[in-house]
Structure 1
């Protein structure tokens, strides 16, 4: 009998770690780790609990239970494995620095007990470190990484274990496991303020199938337009592994085969390229775990970020007076989600218009996003801040008004999340920064004036980075 320790693989289907455990009778276990919970937030934890409830139901459908425990996995995993008389413990490899430290400690504890253990590659197609330059170094430029990623073979999804592959157990039958899943309150968290999407494999498949039946074919053309809601919304599912990456890729391959035109095939490829970005940033973090808190790119001098609590709070509240920025920040608050193009816009605004350290924005996203993923979010923030690998050059600064006009021309997205502007014409919204106080009061007296002048701050941002580079 074997034990599979679930972490970010909350599914039975296409789970390579669980499949390895099911080569003998398998037991499933999830541990609420206090160290991980210290980095959690209500939106993500709510989604995860819903996913665990769905996973537990899948185990019950096969005549068994998902064991659930709360405490230090370094102590609990060996204790539960020993108590259950298992021969091997499996888990799906996690590549963040915190996870690698935890897993190394669990490995040592299992070794001390004489219990075999096996970490199985599962969460991404290509194992970090497997796609390298000709000299064997990890890629720092996405384009070169992605060419090899697209050319590499992708494994097929695995079937879920049958009932006979799972051992009959009951959570709560020992001192180490809980009788039932804890609630948010049990874990010390409040209910999230945002509306959280339903979790679990069935819901993930619904999102995938809906996307591949329609929006994937216009993804290349429409993915940057937030009012369309034309993206996959699979990011939280991939974060928590409620669906396997191989199943997702296989569905996109079928969509590619069913495409009616070259432009539709290019759109499918563009979405697959976004999966490659996900794996690129996973490799970046695997190679440089310190990038979670430190600039990936070195500058000759420290970057002179602004200490601006009022500006930071206005950004968090969606009260900057830049409509596309405020719409994004309010979507984040209301839905625990933000459209990817808008994520770039608000990140650029924080770091290049307000000149505030990217870590402040990263921490706020980590607090509110349901799909927060350490590698992806860190990579995105450092890209916007010009501190990351293959990042936006420091002298290219998003103009938030131009971005709004280009990607939300009718201000449909803006009006959805900024009701103060609902009756204001789109052209007036996109020229909000040019209006005098009287005109702003006439159109939307409750909406603020811009808190900074973009042109002035753009120049200040460039000068700030040039000083850091030692150019001035």
Structure 2
């Protein structure tokens, strides 16, 4: 019998470490160190996913062992208690996760317990796609081309046998772990819910993805980011479904649209590789500026940004969606990040920390990569002189202000033309609604941001 240690792979099917077990005894340990970096939305989703996982195991005649403590002692103790032949798990790639896993390996070695780890959360593990000189890529384009050309691994089956440990332990409530209920809603968790989202996306929206993905009111994103974060669906299963969707495409354009979505999966793995080789990017700029960036300290501006009260409608809509749904459309993530780092010249780490606290799908590699891209401090980042105009972005990607008016109810009775010219209106011209004037002038802040980055470069 093998002890399978679940972490970010909360599913039974298409789980490489679990599939390698002849007879699996599954376990999950609530790690206090990991919980210190968690947040209410993510923990709430995880608990729901664990309940769903337990039910699936019970339906197969087994159960999920649940404990709370330090994995470096809990995992060896469980392996010894149940006389496991070995312990298996799937790799995680952040610096914190790798330190934890190394401590567990050392503890298992000390007690003479065999162990094996598998690459499961990515299609191509870090180090498998490198430059011709053998170095990790720092530019996505070349990484992405190789990623798309590589043969992808097949899905794997569920284990044939699952053990029932008897007394399996209770899955705690959110409050038991020291968390309050999340302010925003949480998507349904578990593999069945993930499969429903995947099927719904591949039945239609994926064939419009290339054209519609940047328009938040069109609902043309997969909403699978939380499932991939927690592993309630396997990445091989997702890729398989997209390949099936490609064969069902009715035109070259629809096929290209599927490949555009697949390239987003490649971005995910690109940022995973960046994090793997440069774990310090969580707190440090990937790209150094000799003069240092003179970030502003603007508590009022930061608070207005968090509350969705900047007076820039598309920015505020994105921040309010985050508050209501613990989620934000990807185009909006770029817009609000640009506004914080360029219009407010606030350190990207403030935004990253807020997203980490509020997003149910927060993923260290993806979110850090996105924030450093917007801040012009990351690998393959947005050039510092290309700064999103929030009004232009709103007019281009939400022309009828459908998204804006959904999340900014003060503007529901205001016509799109007025909304998209909000920054140009004086007090007398604005409708009598409880919505603020812009807190900064974009044109002036754009010039200030460029000057700041040029000083940092020593230009």
- 1:33 matches 2:21: no
Aligned-pair CA distance for 1:445: 2.8
Residue in structure 2 matching 1:109, options 103, 107, 127: 107
Tell me the equivalent position of 1:446.
434
In structure 1, the residue corresponding to 2:66 is in which secondary structure? strand
- 1: distance between equivalents of 2:60 and 2:242? 30
1:351-373 Cα shifts (integer Å, max 9, x gaps): 00000000000000000000000
Per-residue CA deviation, residues 252-282 of structure 1 (Å, 9 max, x unaligned), is 0000001000100010000000000000000
Partner of 2:13: 13
Correspondence for 2:210 among 211, 220, 223: 220
Q: Secondary structure at the match of 2:67?
A: strand
In the alignment, is the contact (CA less than 8 A) between 1:125 and 1:246 conserved in 2? yes
Tell me the TM-score normalized by structure 2.
0.99
Q: Is the 2:5–2:27 contact (alpha carbons within 8 Å) kept by the matching residues of 1?
A: yes
- The match for 2:165 among 165, 169, 183 is 169
| Residue 229 of structure 1, CA deviation | 1.4
Aligned to 1:469: 457
SS where residue 180 of structure 2 aligns?
coil
Counterpart CA distance in 1 for 2:432 and 2:196 is 40
Of 327, 331, 347, 1:357 maps to 347
Matches within 5 A, 1:183-332: 183-332=173-322
**Off by >6 Å, runs of 4+ in structure 1:** none
SS of 1:27 mapped into structure 2 = strand
Normalised TM-score (structure 1): 0.97
Contact 1:358–1:385 (CA<8 Å) still a contact in 2?
yes
Question: Which residue number in structure 2 is paired with residue 175 of structure 1?
Answer: none
Could you say which residue in structure 1 is the equivalent of 2:446?
458
Query: 1:336-351 residue pairs with structure 2 within 5 A?
Result: 336-351=326-341
Does residue 127 in structure 1 map to residue 117 in structure 2?
A: no
- The equivalent of 1:90 in structure 2 is 88
**Equivalent residues of 1:66, 1:170 under 8 A apart:** no
Question: Match for residue 141 of structure 1?
Answer: 139
Instruction: Tell me by how many angstroms 1:171 deviates.
Output: 3.7
Q: How does 1:385-400 map to 2 (within 5 A)?
A: 385-400=375-390
2 CA distance for matches of 1:313 and 1:158?
Answer: 47
Return the alpha-carbon distance in structure 1 between the equivalents of residues 383 and 265 of structure 2: 23
Cα distance in 2 between the residues matched to 1:336 and 1:317: 14
Shift of residue 79 of structure 1?
A: 0.6
Between the aligned partners of 1:444 and 1:373, the Cα distance in structure 2 is: 41
What secondary structure is seen at the aligned counterpart in 2 of 1:410? coil
Corresponding residue SS for 2:102: helix
8 Å contact from structure 2 (residues 14, 155) kept in 1: yes
Question: Does the 8 Å contact 1:411/1:426 carry over to 2?
Answer: yes
How far does the alpha carbon of each residue in 1:72-121 deviate from its partner, in whole angstroms, 9 at most, with x for none? 10110001111110111000000100000000000000000000111111
Show CA shifts across 1:56-78 (max 9, x none). 00110011110000011011000
Matched residue SS, 1:296: coil
Q: Distance in 2 between matches of 1:387 and 1:412?
A: 33
**Contact 1:384 1:391 (8 Å CA) reproduced:** yes
Deviation at 1:304, TM superposition (A): 0.3
Structure 1 distance, partners of 2:248, 2:432, is 48
TM-superposed deviation, 1:159 = 1.4
Q: How many residues align?
A: 459
CA distance in 2, matches of 1:228, 1:405: 15
What is the rounded CA distance, in whole Å, between the counterparts of 1:6 and 1:281 in structure 2? 23
What CA distance in whole angstroms lies between the structure 1 residues aligned with 2:147 and 2:244? 19
SS at match of 2:177: coil
Q: Given that residues 411 and 433 in structure 2 are in contact (C-alpha distance below 8 angstroms), is that contact kept between their aligned partners in structure 1? A: no
Q: Give unpaired runs (5+ residues) of structure 2.
A: none
Confirm or deny: 8 A CA contact 1:56 1:65 kept in the other structure: yes
2:287/2:377 contact within 8 Å kept = yes
For the Cα contact (< 8 Å) 1:14–1:160, is it kept in 2? yes
2:420 corresponds, among 413, 417, 430, to: 430
The CA distance in 2 between the partners of 1:167 and 1:45, in whole Å, is: 26
Q: CA deviation at 1:170?
A: 2.4
Change (3 A) 1:373 1:277: same
* Aligned-residue offset at 1:228: 1.1
8 Å CA contact retained: 1:401, 1:431:
yes
1:375 is displaced (CA, Å) by 0.2
**CA distance in 1: counterparts of 2:11 and 2:249, whole angstroms:** 29
5+ residue gaps, structure 1, are 173-177
1:382 maps onto 2:372 in alignment: yes
Structure 1 residue 168: Cα displacement: 2.4
Counterpart Cα distance in 1 of 2:63 and 2:145: 43
- Is 2:67 the partner of 1:69? yes
Task: Report if the CA contact (8 A) 1:29-1:67 is conserved.
Answer: yes
Q: Counterparts of 1:301 and 1:16 in 2: how far apart (Å)? A: 47
Task: Give 1:444 shift.
Answer: 4.0
SS in structure 1 at match of 2:25: strand
Matched, 1:160 2:158: yes
CA-based RMSD? 0.7
